[in-house]
């Protein structure tokens, strides 16, 4: 252990002893500057305690259609209640619960409208689709230690969803789960594509291949913004075929090439000067993820690039999203884990890439980006 690591360990031990002391807590609550720090930490601690209740309030707004109802505001609780199918008292409880979360607002007595956050959710059906989807994660996290003790191969609500919907999302049959899958993927890819478009220029790219690109939601966004690009979609045969049809209708069939295959067992198509992996790497455990990077590296000519875009761990300002949310989400899914940029860059070097760099994004909670050069 280095001297610096030993120093940090010692500091954390001393800090925790101090913070745990009732005498320190009593003293800190009475000094102006320290009191402000202590209160902010107490508020953060309560948010940890109450976070599940907050998320369930949001879920009730989405599943009850309350955002759409409040678009018609201002409305009284009496007018809102029958539209929710709740009593007036229950409706008031829900409206008041959403008020400090800025989901709802009461500018005048019993005149309810959308709050600031509510207006954002009301205007974005994709975000609401993600909220509805998270009911599966909440089911799996009802007993978090039981989830963590179980074999990861054991089915969970999330793993059943991804196995069923993921296997069928290229089929013509559209059950409830596959419809939810399509809506969820379109929403999540939209967020990632926005970060990529704001952070990466494609003017020097002629041919872009999206590996594991599904129905082409990411390529559609990139191709719309950069009409000179020739686009390739690599995915399982039935998925790639459907994706190419969707992309061809949106962007022109002459720009689209479908490549059917399995990115673990089949060679990655060559002659592309950029390959993208969008929310793919973190879905897989270390060994298959490393094999995928090596497979992509073999397909790239010197100077060609790989773009990795996904939520990552240990990103300043977005740390809870990386390891607290996605860590448990991917565990419940049964495969993969969030990785820090340093971990991914080490894997890229092991796969034979010459260099790699992190590209800053405005909203790392949606995605961080790494560009690697062959």
Please compute Rg for the chain using Cα positions: 24
CB 335 within 8 A of CB 283: yes
* Helical (H) or strand (E) element with 207: strand 207-211
Supply the pLDDT for residue 169: 41
Supply the pLDDT for residue 50: 87
Supply the pLDDT for residue 48: 82
Convert the pLDDT of each residue in 14-56 to its tens digit: 766 755 566 655 555 555 655 555 566 667 777 888 899 999 9
Domain residue ranges in the chain: 31-123, 138-373
Distance of CA 115 to the CA centre of its chain: 24
Question: Which regions in the chain score pLDDT beneath 50?
Answer: 165, 167-176
DSSP helix/strand/coil, 173: coil
> 196 - beta bridge partners?
none
Supply the pLDDT for residue 190: 84
Supply the pLDDT for residue 21: 65
CB 106 within 8 A of CB 77: no
- In the β-sheet with 355-359, what is the strand arrangement from edge to edge? 256-260, 230-235, 207-211, 274-278, 305-310, 368-373, 355-359
Supply the pLDDT for residue 32: 60
Q: Which CATH class is domain 31-123?
A: mainly alpha
CB 360 within 8 A of CB 316: no
CATH fold of 138-373 = Rossmann fold (3.40.50)
Structure tokens at 228: 């000179």
Cα torsion through 284, 290, 296, 301, rounded to 10: 150
Supply the pLDDT for residue 172: 37
Cβ atoms within 10 Å, residue 52: 11
């Amino acid at each position: 252990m280095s001297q610096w690591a030993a120093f940090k360990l010692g500091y954390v031990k001393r800090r925790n002893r101090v913070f745990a002391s009732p005498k320190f807590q009593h003293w800190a609550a009475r000094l102006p500057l320290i009191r402000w720090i202590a209160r902010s930490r107490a508020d953060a601690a309560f948010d940890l305690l109450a976070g599940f209740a907050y998320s369930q309030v949001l879920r009730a707004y989405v599943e009850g259609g309350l955002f759409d109802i409040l678009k018609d505001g201002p409305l009284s609780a009496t007018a809102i209640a029958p539209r929710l199918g709740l009593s007036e008292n229950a409706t008031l409880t829900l409206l008041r619960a959403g008020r400090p979360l800025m989901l709802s607002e009461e500018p005048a007595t019993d005149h309810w409208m959308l709050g600031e956050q509510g207006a954002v959710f009301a205007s974005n059906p994709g975000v609401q689709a993600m909220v509805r989807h998270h009911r599966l994660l909440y089911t799996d996290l009802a007993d978090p230690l039981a989830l963590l003790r179980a074999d990861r191969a054991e089915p969970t609500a999330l793993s059943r969803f991804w196995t069923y919907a993921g296997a069928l999302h290229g089929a013509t049959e559209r059950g409830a789960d596959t419809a939810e899958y399509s809506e969820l993927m379109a929403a999540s890819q939209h967020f990632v594509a926005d970060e990529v478009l704001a952070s990466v220029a494609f003017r020097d790219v002629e041919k872009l291949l999206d590996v594991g690109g599904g129905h082409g939601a990411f390529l559609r966004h990139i191709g719309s913004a950069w009409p000179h690009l020739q686009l390739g979609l690599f995915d399982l045969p039935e998925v790639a075929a459907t994706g190419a049809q969707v992309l061809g209708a949106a962007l022109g069939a002459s720009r689209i090439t479908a490549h059917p295959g399995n990115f673990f067992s089949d060679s990655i198509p060559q002659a592309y000067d950029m390959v993208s992996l969008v929310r793919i790497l973190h879905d897989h455990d270390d060994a298959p993820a490393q094999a995928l990077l090596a497979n992509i590296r073999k397909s790239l000519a010197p100077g060609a690039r790989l773009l990795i875009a996904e939520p990552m761990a240990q990103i300043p300002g977005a740390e809870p999203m990386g390891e607290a949310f996605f860590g448990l989400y991917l565990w419940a899914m049964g495969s993969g884990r969030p990785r820090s940029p340093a971990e991914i860059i080490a894997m890229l070097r092991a796969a034979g890439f010459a260099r790699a760099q992190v590209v800053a994004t405005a909203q790392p909670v949606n995605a961080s980006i790494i560009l690697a050069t062959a």
